[in-house]
Amino acid sequence: MSKLFTFVAGLSIGSILSIALCKNIYYDQVVEINPEKSALNSAKSILKYGFPGPISDLIYREAYVTSYNRQTRNPNWAAEIINAENAHPDRSKSHFKEDKSIPVKYRAKLSDYLKSGFDRGHLVPAADIKQSQKALDETFYLTNMSPQVIAFNRGYWAYFEAFCRSLVGKFDDVHVITGPLFLPKLRDGKKFVEYQVIGDSDIAVPTHFFKIILGVEKEKYYLGSFVLPNESIDSNEPLTLFQVPLDSVERASGLEFFQDVAKKLDLCAKVECKVKEFQFKE
């Protein structure tokens, strides 16, 4: 069964996998569907001692924005614009670190990854960040990380990230949104969502990762949406094998991407969607 088929097979239960995003923690700031005054008054009474959530920590960094999921200890997504700035920041001065803006009981910890067999996988890659040393350092917060299979992180995923960087210069702007997915597998005619957790914090290990790329050229918008399994992938596999309809990723994740862009053209019809193998350097 192909990796792409495995992904598509799980889309019918995408609603179960949806991640609720809530910028604010107060019930009167949540988007209501057909609210009635009597219902709102009732809600204020029911929730007068506090709104339970879900709470999504929206984190603004110098070079990216991310939304953190307290339940999975993964980002919901991380968004960036890849550009050609080059202030020559030094990666050797950057270190992985816990994000103290997250309450301790929901925080991913460095010890969770120790001897886990998984890499701390950047969603916004350090190699994308050229603006400043501070901006580079901020990519090493664990709120920008998900557990990734080592061969995946240092192999095909790294090649894919390099492909995204290669788009700089071909477009006026390159917008990228990356995130984890927890997709079902078919077993005995039934669908199951199964994933490993690591560390004392039970950080969820995603089954897949998505990356949505929007290349802007003058007033034209070229979009490519991709889903890759969190596993070793042969470098000879064509990147287009992992290209999927945007709607599929939205239904599987519960998110919306670049919804303010009315007409989106096919990125892979504009540029060759192909990865190149290279030697990974930490």
Q: 280 in a domain, yes or no?
A: no
pLDDT at residue 165, rounded to an integer: 96
For residue range 35-62, what is the model confidence (pLDDT) as tens digits?
667 787 888 888 889 888 888 899 999 9
Domain containing 64 equals 3-270
CATH of the domain at 198: 3.40.570.10
pLDDT at residue 18, rounded to an integer: 33
Binding residues: 153
Q: 208 in a domain, yes or no?
A: yes
Backbone φ and ψ of 7, nearest 5°: -65, -50
Q: 281 in a domain, yes or no?
A: no
Q: 253 in a domain, yes or no?
A: yes
pLDDT at residue 39, rounded to an integer: 80
Q: 213 in a domain, yes or no?
A: yes
pLDDT at residue 88, rounded to an integer: 83
Q: How many domains does the chain have?
A: 1
Q: 261 in a domain, yes or no?
A: yes
d(CA 163, CA 161): 5
pLDDT at residue 9, rounded to an integer: 43
Which residues are within 8 A (CB) of 254 and not within 5 positions of it... i.e. 6 or more apart?
A: 14, 15, 17, 18, 19, 20, 21
d(CA 222, CA 174): 10
* Mean pLDDT lowest among 26-35, 55-64, 92-101, 147-156: 26-35
Q: 155 in a domain, yes or no?
A: yes
Of 88, 122, 175, 208, the active-site residue reads 122
Instruction: Check pLDDT > 60 for residue 16.
Output: no
d(CA 124, CA 141): 11
Question: Coil, strand or helix: which one is 113?
Answer: helix
Binding residues for Mg(2+): 153
pLDDT averaged over every residue in the chain: 88
Q: 278 in a domain, yes or no?
A: no
The reply to whether 175 belongs to the active site is no
Q: How many CA atoms lie within 13 A of 111 on its CB side?
A: 3
Which residues are within 8 A (CB) of 116 and not within 5 positions of it... i.e. 6 or more apart?
A: 147, 198, 199
